[in-house]
Chain A
């Protein structure tokens, strides 16, 4: 037969321990729910918003060059996410290259191509096929696309000279003039 609790002090201690465990259990459950909620909220967020500072990143290009925030500072930066297996990307590739050739002599515009979930050989073939000369590199570990919360390819983000996001294009550019209309207002007189 079990010993019944007759000592009030002992009973009080046991009740105290029980309450402590209960509080700890609730706190743990609450913490778990908060973590789950945060993960879900993050997943439900759309792309980074226009007017905000976009996530900073450093791109290691296919030829081993490192392009980071210092190289982007004070320039209009066009960040294009693409993949060699993406047919709409092929549609805009010649226009992007033409735009780059148009802006490159100015020196205050930077084009960055980020190959998303692509194999290196296929990416290099794509670059060669379209004669792309602006800097391109792989999105290693998909860290850049995750930071930008991209939803697919092609996606293009244009950043102004102050480092704020000026425009987002979640589909392929249809013409050179469309790219120019996204960049020209950011260049000033």
Chain B
């Protein structure tokens, strides 16, 4: 009888231990961040450019270096970093050239301002051109004397007949 009691005690102890250990493992696994998917990584990677290759977005870049950078994005996402934080980190590490568009500071402002300035200047030049063209046309209209009213179809025909007669006479 005492042996049976001992066995039951041992069994109970083993069950409790297993449950406790199992619970710990489940708790540890559920506490871990899920591994970010390739789609999540590529969503950020396509906004960044490979700092080594020419004009190649990070999501389609086939080099080993790019694979390392994509893994770095995955690691940062797993740590709970946001998109902007990851982009800022890449700029800090590899320079602004990793961004698809240059940050609007320093000489980079030219990229944003110059096209606008060219459009405004173009519109202004066109406006001035049209205005001076219209003014010139108006001034010509004012300064030139009124042309004599045409005599009509008959007058034109008379001139024509006269020219023909002159030619005939000469020949």
Contacts and interface: CB of A to CB of B under 8 A. Distances in A.
Interface of A: 1-2, 4, 18, 25, 28, 32, 35, 39, 83-85, 117-119, 121-122, 138, 140-143, 146
Q: Chain A binding site: helix, strand, loop or mixed by DSSP? A: helix
B100 to A, nearest CB: 17
Interface residues of B, number: 26
A117 B135 contact: no
Contacts of A146: 95
Contacts of B114: 32
Nearest to A28: B117
11 contacts: A2-B135, A4-B138, A4-B142, A25-B121, A28-B117, A35-B107, A35-B110, A85-B65, A117-B94, A119-B71, A142-B94
Nearest to B96: A141
A39 B110 CA distance: 12
A136 to B, nearest CB: 15
Given A85-B68, A119-B72, A4 B93 contact: no
Contacts of A121: 72
A84 B65 CA distance: 8
B135 A4 contact: yes
B52 interface: yes
A141 B110 contact: no
A83 B93 CA distance: 13
Contacts of A18: 128
Interface string B66-107: 001101100000000000000000011111010000000001
B28 to A, nearest CB: 23
Contacts of B9: none
A141 B134 CA distance: 56
3 tightest CB-CB pairs across the interface, nearest first?
A85-B65, A142-B95, A85-B64
A140 B96 CA distance: 11
A4 B68 CA distance: 71
A117 B97 CA distance: 11
A143 B107 CA distance: 17
Interface in B42-60: 51-52
Given A119-B68, A141-B94, A142-B95, A2 B63 contact: no
A141 B91 contact: yes
Contacts of B52: 117
B139 interface: yes
B95 A141 contact: yes
A27 to B, nearest CB: 13
Given A2-B135, A4-B135, A143 B95 contact: yes
Contacts of B91: 141
Contact of A1 (B93, B97, B110, B138): B138
A138 B93 CA distance: 8
Contacts of A84: 68
A141 B92 contact: yes
